[in-house]
Structure 1
Amino acid sequence: MHPQATTPRPARVPHGANEEGDGIVIGDGPVSLDAYIDFQCPYCRQFTGTSGPLLDGLLADGRITAIYHPMSFLDAMSTNHYSARASAASGCAADSGSFVEYAYALFANQPPEGGPGLTDEELVVLGATAGLTGAFADCVRLGAHRDWPPYVTSRAYQRGVRGTPTVLVEGAPVPPHPSLIRSAVARVLPHMV
């Protein structure tokens, strides 16, 4: 299905999803930060490496609520639909309360574009390194969230997202660079007190 087409909301969305069901909510700070990512995207891996610690700090300080939207934007860039399968597996990690830890593991083990991505079994093994077993493994093997990534991607397109990583602070686009994100959050915070 073309990502601009409307994809119906899946019957099951991951635990911790926002009201729209298209993102995983982490934290409960006053400033909303949306991060649109694709686990096949090299720039997203770079973004996670450079901005991940900042986001973790802003979350720990209670400044932001981060909503991660794992898209399947680059699904055609692998021979086995890795982007969608990795995003679905991240939904399984969210069910177990370990979305961020698993996202870091996925980016640390990102396969190159154009070839096969990790297999489902390799996604399960990767989860075990992040402390995910049992229900997570079953969720990945059964493809419990396979219909979720196309929905997330469709919703992102409806919101005007055309590439990854895309960062929005209170709905306004911000370049995915740590200092620019920090500044955007700081500008919004005084207006929220």
Structure 2
Amino acid sequence: MAKRPDPAADDRRRQARAAQQAALARAKRRRTLTQLAIVGGVAVVVIAIVATAVVLGTRGRSTTVAGGSPVATGTTDLGGTSVPFAIGGDGGTANGVRVGSTDAKVSMDLWVDYSCPHCQEFEATNNATISSLVASGKLAVTYHNIQIVTDYGTEAGSASACMAVHDPSAWPAYNAALYVNHSQSTDGWGASDFARFAAANGGGDATQRCTTDGTYRDWITANTAASVKADVSGTPTMFIDGAKTDTLSGQALVDRVDSLASA
């Protein structure tokens, strides 16, 4: 599990990021919203919200962008099965992407970071299993993307939200691809890099523009703050039916879901 960094590690990481951002000319970005520091599991959050609600009409789904938070509902595809899909909004999806039937007997919340190597391993091991359980109608999963390791988590998280809003049918594969893509050589990717990656993974013009603009960076930062209140001390963290649990994998996960679904 990727743990929240200590202050010294935070300082070293911020210095490295600053140098990397300067080299990539990323210092030109105007970040007007949230600045977050996480020290030893305690979040100190200073948030200034400057935003205007924009309502977008998109292909066959309801999409709203309000205050920098993505809101969209529709369907996506899992192995040929169409399943309900939502991002943002009220309730449990306010800081997440929900995939699965509203009638699913079992719910799972996963707090993850695209820059977390343990999350990368978990995704590689369990993607097919989780997709199968969701497609069966037994399980609905809400993915809460946060950032506690490197800036890749923020940029990839924003890019993921853009894909979820504008091209939800491509989101499941893109979500997996963002983990596979993470390495030392891509850790410093900027928004334009992710926009090109989105284009190569099913993202249309709207997704690419959204990604280039870094539209949902601040949503990822706000989600990271929310994770502290949710008792998330590292990634991945799993909740099943609202209860925090060990991070189950493979057959152990299947057995737990089957047991709860048949109860």
Q: 1:5 to 1:32 in 2, by over 3 A?
A: farther
8 A Cα contact 2:191 2:213, kept in partner:
no
8 A Cα contact 2:194 2:212, kept in partner:
no
Q: 1:120 aligns with which of 191, 196, 200?
A: 191
Question: Match for residue 30 of structure 1?
Answer: 105
Unaligned runs of 5+ in 1: 76-80
Q: TM-score, normalised by structure 2?
A: 0.65
**Structure 1 residue 136 corresponds to structure 2 residue 204:** no
Identity, in percent, stands at 24
CA–CA separation in structure 2 for the residues paired with 1:2 and 1:181: 33
Question: Match for residue 147 of structure 2?
Answer: 72
SS of the aligned residue for 1:25 comes to strand
- Partner deviation per Cα, 1:119-139 (whole Å, 9 max, x = no partner): 222211211222102000100
Question: Match for residue 158 of structure 1?
Answer: 229
Shift of 1:56: 0.5
**Structure 1 residue 100 corresponds to structure 2 residue 100:** no
Question: Match for residue 168 of structure 1?
Answer: 239
Shift of 1:154: 1.3
- Number of equivalent positions: 185
Q: Which has the higher contact order (CA 8 A, sep 6+)?
A: 1
CA–CA separation in structure 2 for the residues paired with 1:138 and 1:7: 27
Unaligned runs of 5+ in 2: 1-35, 50-65, 73-85
Kindly provide the amino acid, as one letter, of the partner of residue 156 in structure 2: A
Question: Match for residue 13 of structure 1?
Answer: 69
Q: 1:61 aligns with which of 132, 136, 141?
A: 136
For residues 84-95 of structure 1, the aligned pairs below 5 Å read 84-95=154-165
Question: Match for residue 182 of structure 1?
Answer: 254
Q: TM-score, normalised by structure 1?
A: 0.87
Kindly provide the amino acid, as one letter, of the partner of residue 184 in structure 1: R
Shift of 1:156: 1.4
Kindly provide the amino acid, as one letter, of the partner of residue 54 in structure 1: T
Question: Match for residue 181 of structure 2?
Answer: 109
Shift of 1:174: 3.1
SS of the aligned residue for 1:144 comes to coil
**Structure 1 residue 39 corresponds to structure 2 residue 114:** yes
- Greater shift after overlay, 176-185 or 63-72? 176-185
8 A Cα contact 2:87 2:165, kept in partner:
no
- Greater shift after overlay, 100-109 or 45-54? 100-109
The structure with more radius of gyration: 2
- Partner deviation per Cα, 1:55-93 (whole Å, 9 max, x = no partner): 100111011111001111113xxxxx2211111111101
Shift of 1:51: 0.6
